[in-house]
Amino acid sequence: MKIAIAVVLCLLLAAPCMAMMPCDTDGNDRLSDGEMVRAIFSYLDVTYRNGTGQAASFADLSDAAYIYHYWDGAPWACTDAEGRTIVFERPLRSVAVMSPQILETMRAIGYPMGSVRGADRSVLMDREFFPDLGECRSIGSLDDPDIDALASVSPDVVFVPAGSTGDLAADAASALGIPVLRFSCASPASVRNDATTFGSLLGRRDGAEELCRFLDEQEGAVAACLDGLPQDQVPAVYVENFSAYIACESGTPAGDLVRLAGGRPVPDGFGLAGVSDEEVTAAAPAVIIKLVGRDPCAFGGIGDHMSIRFIEVRNAIGKRPGWSALPAEKEGRIYLIHAGLFEGPQYVVGLTYLACWLHPDRCAGLDPAAVHEAYLSRFCGLSDVSGIFVYPGDA
């Protein structure tokens, strides 16, 4: 019996794959206790006692052990963010990921990066944040997927962002006969839902639960500070995307985080919207938030210690026609933040910064830099990370 237990432990550590469900001798799509016991002892008999009976291969037995332990002994039906369901009869040996937010969420729940065989070009350009991708190959980008590279990688599944931006990559994978799962990992709700789904599919439920507890703790700390906030103390906040005069209103990750942080996005609208000087000055924001990290504001983040670009963009905002009269400019409440802190599981870091900027007295006890450090060390395996993520630097 001790040998059998040792075999099971080794099997669970072995890499999984995808095909017909193994060791299901009665063909009912359910691995019973009896089927697993018989499979294990048949393997032990043939492998270690020169038995002459039939036994499953180690690969089949490892997959069966995975299914039995993580999927309750049955094929796993995974439904993605767009409502598509794929039934997996074997665990996944390798994946390709076309979204840094999806990959970050997968890593945060403990999925081994060595199983990621292909990734979006932008992910591989950010080696400081994803240093553990090893031999992972570029498979192009969302708007220009590399079909040959994807075919050579031949992953068991490709993870693609939900929404129209991921359609080209999804179509390319589907044309090769590779299953596609589409997720968001953008809003607070989607990060939790997607992490939970990943945890079940990838055998990382404990990691998903730990991540969700961390997110709940940080959101709860902000909510406690804002408890009882009077409506007349909710400031108007203009959040600008990477390009000038593009507002992040309600329905965007940044706009929704402003609401969670006790603010009101202005101008009043939905999604990303172009705005004019007149619209912004009429809205009279008390706080202005500018996103950086992508063109034309591709600076900041891990390894960037030069503040000059932050200063230039900050000063240019105050020089726009009529903006010098805005409350945000007069009171020095214009802040720049790297968009990575608003995306994926890191959104709680951005939320904490926003709460401190919008309500400095109520949120004086919060420490967004400490939240950031805790997230990077606990869920990304990154320590001693340095760089400029916000400007000015003190929340």
pLDDT per position as a tens digit, 141-194: 999 999 999 999 999 999 999 999 999 999 999 999 999 999 999 888 899 999
Whether 46 has a pLDDT exceeding 50, the answer reads yes
Pair (240, 337) in one structural domain: yes
Pair (99, 21) in one structural domain: no
Pair (244, 364) in one structural domain: yes
Pair (15, 104) in one structural domain: no
The predicted structure's pLDDT at residue 394? 58
Pair (33, 87) in one structural domain: no
Pair (312, 362) in one structural domain: yes
Whether 13 has a pLDDT exceeding 80, the answer reads no
DSSP secondary structure code for residue 393 in this structure = S
Pair (323, 190) in one structural domain: no
Pair (145, 52) in one structural domain: no
Higher pLDDT, 7 or 381: 381
Please check whether residue 198 lies inside any domain of the structure: yes
Give the CATH number of the domain where residue 196 resides: 3.40.50.1980
Pair (145, 269) in one structural domain: no
Considering Cα of 290, then 339, then 359, then 384, what sign does the dihedral take? Answer: negative
pLDDT digits (tens, 9 = 90+) for 327-385: 999 999 999 999 999 999 999 999 999 999 999 999 999 999 999 999 999 999 999 89
Query: pTM for this one?
Result: 0.89
Pair (235, 194) in one structural domain: no
Residue 141 forms beta bridges with which residues? 144
Instruction: Quote the domain boundaries for residue 28.
Output: 2-74
Number of structural domains the chain divides into: 3
Pair (198, 82) in one structural domain: yes
> Token digits for 263?
């603010």
Pair (8, 110) in one structural domain: no
> Token digits for 47?
């492998």
Q: What angle do CA 288, 100, 301 make, to 5 degrees?
A: 45
Please check whether residue 151 lies inside any domain of the structure: yes
Please check whether residue 254 lies inside any domain of the structure: yes
- Which of 20, 41, 74 terminates a domain? The answer is 74
The predicted structure's pLDDT at residue 248? 96
Please check whether residue 217 lies inside any domain of the structure: no
pLDDT digits (tens, 9 = 90+) for 268-311: 889 999 999 999 999 999 999 999 999 999 999 999 999 999 99
- 47-51, 129-133, 290-294, 360-364: the lowest-pLDDT one: 47-51
Whether 16 has a pLDDT exceeding 60, the answer reads no
pLDDT digits (tens, 9 = 90+) for 52-88: 778 889 999 999 999 999 999 999 999 999 999 999 9
Whether 17 has a pLDDT exceeding 70, the answer reads no
pLDDT digits (tens, 9 = 90+) for 203-221: 999 999 999 999 999 999 9
